[in-house]
Each structure stands twice: as C-alpha cells, then as structure tokens.
Amino acid sequence: MGQLEDMAMFVRIVEAGSITKAAEQLNIAKSAVSRRLKDLEARLGSQLISRTTRQSHLTQAGEQYYQQVSNILSAVDALNEQASDAPTRIEGTLKMTAPLSFGLMHLNDVIVEYATQHPNLNFELDFSDRHVDLIEEGYELAIRIRELQDSSYQAKRLALIRYVLCASPDYLKKMGTPKTIDDLKDHEFLQYGLSKTSSIELTDAKGKKHHHTINAKVKATNGEFLVDLTVKGHGIIFIPTFIAYQRLARGELVPILQQYQLPTLNAYAVYPKNRFLSQRCRHLIDLIAERFGDNPYWDQF
C-alpha cells in the first residue's frame, strides 16, 4: 500500500471512531487495519492513536496529522477530478440517509432517475428518523430537515419546508372551524413528535407572534399515521405540507387559520466538512435541489 492509501486508512479509523468500525467500513480484517496503523506510526516515528483494551483516542501528534492529512486527501481528490480528461463517470456506492416520510414520499422518483442516468452507481439508503452520525457510520450524505448546529458538517439548502394547521371537513363540521387562536383551546390535537410539551407559533398580519400550547390527544413519531387519524376526524394537526399534501389536494384535510403565518424550516443536504465531496454526491444534491426548491410540488395543493 502507498502512503496516500495509509493516510486514507488513518482518516477512516479516526472518523469511524475505532479500528473495528473502520475495518467494517473498508470490508477488510481488523488485524490488517491494526497492522497498517502500526506500520504508519513506525514510519512516522510517532504514536498517532493511544490504545488501551477499553478505549482509544488521538494523541496530540495524531490530531495534527489528521487535520493535515484530511486536507491533503481532499486536495488530491479535487486535483484528480480537475485534471481528468475523461468524461465524468458516476460510479461506486452512495451511502445516504434521509428522514423516513420525506424519503419514502419524495426521494423515490429522484433516486430512480439518478440510478437510470448512472447504471454503474450503487446505493445504500437508510430512511429513518434516528440521528445518524455520518462520520462514525460511514455515510457520505444526509438529508436533514432541521436547524443545523453541528459545525463538523457542511450543508447545501435544498428546499423550503412549510407547515399547515388542518383538520378533516367532518371534524370541523362536528366541532366547528376555529376562527381565532383562542378558539383552538376547544379542540383536540394530534402531535407530531413525542415531546412532553409542544406549542404552535402563529404570526399575525402585523408581525406579532402568538403561541398556542398543544394538549395532544395522540402523539406519534410517524406523520403519515397522524395524517390518517386526522382524516378520520380525530382532531387538528400541525404538520409539514410534504406529508399532508395529497390529503389536502383531495380535500380530505382543510387548512385552518390561514390568516396567520406558520413557521418554516429548510431541507438540507449535509456532508462531512473535511471530506472531499464526491461527484456522485454533488450531482445528486444538485438534482434534488433542482426538483424541489422554494416552491416544491407538494405545496401546489
């Protein structure tokens, strides 16, 4: 193995969090990874990772080496890409994670289109709402719908995520349609998420913000389940439009209190900060952003 390969292996150990996880991601024996790390340390004349039977951590020399090597590897990848005269060939395996409902409802057509365009590309897709550590678990890319705070990641904005406050026509006929925020106290709510307390922020035409605390009849982590309950008349729901849009378009759900502005979020493509972004990731991110944007099709109800 050459020096660049040893550098890449060391970076993988650091980012995976252990020799064992790095070996799993590289699909090689743990003993081989351990041996190559020892050879690298011997060649450098410095211990990079302090290892005990229970844990390991970077030494000061290891931290400096990791930062410099990460930059070198990214620069080499970028240089090779720029210098190549060959047409761009999208291949390899793209390991990606996305929220469950968003992935199932809106990424299917994009992934099929991208796979058709690039038949040599393989996919590993994790559609779930759990928090995925991209670096530790070896993911190249994540779609996230939230305010981003982790500075170890880079992000590209993909789409505006709007919310809607809605209920079924039958429920509103039975319980009455809320005309003001105060009217909400007389209604049942279905809560998206399991937090103990939840509130809705509504902004009036003058820019004044109002908050209504939800006392939920049902709480669940799956938005499609809650939308189904709402259609069946079990209460009012505050939900992203990308989950409820089909039911809204068919008139099975009706927006309420539309004179107020509701909060918005953004969908982002997120990837490790110190890692070169592969062509397969970059092109897919661009395709998703092109398909969705600030006025996505799910808001055309």
Which H/E stretch holds residue 236? strand 236-240
Q: Higher model confidence: residue 238 or residue 55?
A: 238
Rounded Cα distance between 238 and 200, Å, is 8
Confidence of residue 77 (pLDDT cuts 50, 70, 90): low
Q: CA–CA distance from 81 to each of 90, 139, 210, 244 (Å)? A: 12, 21, 52, 42
pLDDT digits (tens, 9 = 90+) for 247-265: 999 999 999 999 999 999 9
The topology (CATH level 3) of 92-158+266-299 is D-Maltodextrin-Binding Protein; domain 2 (3.40.190)
Instruction: Report CA torsion sign: 28, 32, 37, 43.
Output: negative
Contact 273, 151 (CB under 8 A): yes
Residues 3-83, CATH architecture: Orthogonal Bundle (1.10)
Q: Are 81 and 52 in contact (CB under 8 A)?
A: no
Q: Judge whether residue 132 has pLDDT over 80.
A: yes
Interval 101-107 mean pLDDT:
95
Helix (H) or strand (E) holding 50: strand 49-51
If you classify domain 161-264 with CATH, what class do you get? Answer: alpha beta
Tell me which residue of 221, 218, 205, 223 sits closest to 164, measured CA to CA. Answer: 223
Cβ 194 vs Cβ 219: under 8 Å = yes
pLDDT at 255: 97
- The structure's pTM equals 0.74
Estimate the crossing angle of helix 3-16 against helix 30-44, to 10 degrees.
120
CA dist., res. 164 & res. 237, Å (int): 8
Same topology for domains 92-158+266-299 and 161-264, yes or no? yes
> Residue 49 pLDDT more than 80?
yes
Distance, in Å, from the CA atom of 233 to the CA atom of 253, rounded to the nearest integer, reads: 10
28-38 pLDDT, tens digit each: 888 888 888 88
Is residue 94 a contact partner of residue 123, using CB atoms and an 8 Å limit? yes
Residue 69 pLDDT grade (very low, low, confident, very high; cuts 50, 70, 90)? confident
Residue 263 structure tokens: 């909060």
Please say if the pLDDT value at position 127 is more than 90: yes
Instruction: State the Cα–Cα distance between residues 147 and 55, nearest whole angstrom.
Output: 32
Tokens 């996880």 -> residue? 21
Q: For residue 206, which amino acid is it?
A: K
C-alpha span between 166 and 258 (Å, rounded): 10
What whole-number percentage of the chain has pLDDT above 70?
A: 93
Q: What is the mean pLDDT of residues 1-17?
A: 81
Is 95 within 8 Å of 138 (Cβ atoms)?
A: yes
pLDDT of residue 208: 95
**Domain coordinates in residue numbering, the chain:** 3-83, 92-158+266-299, 161-264
Residues 14, 29: Cα–Cα separation, whole Å: 17
Categorize the per-residue pLDDT at 133 as very low, low, confident or very high, splitting at 50, 70 and 90: confident
Q: How confident is the model at residue 201 (pLDDT cuts 50, 70, 90)?
A: very high
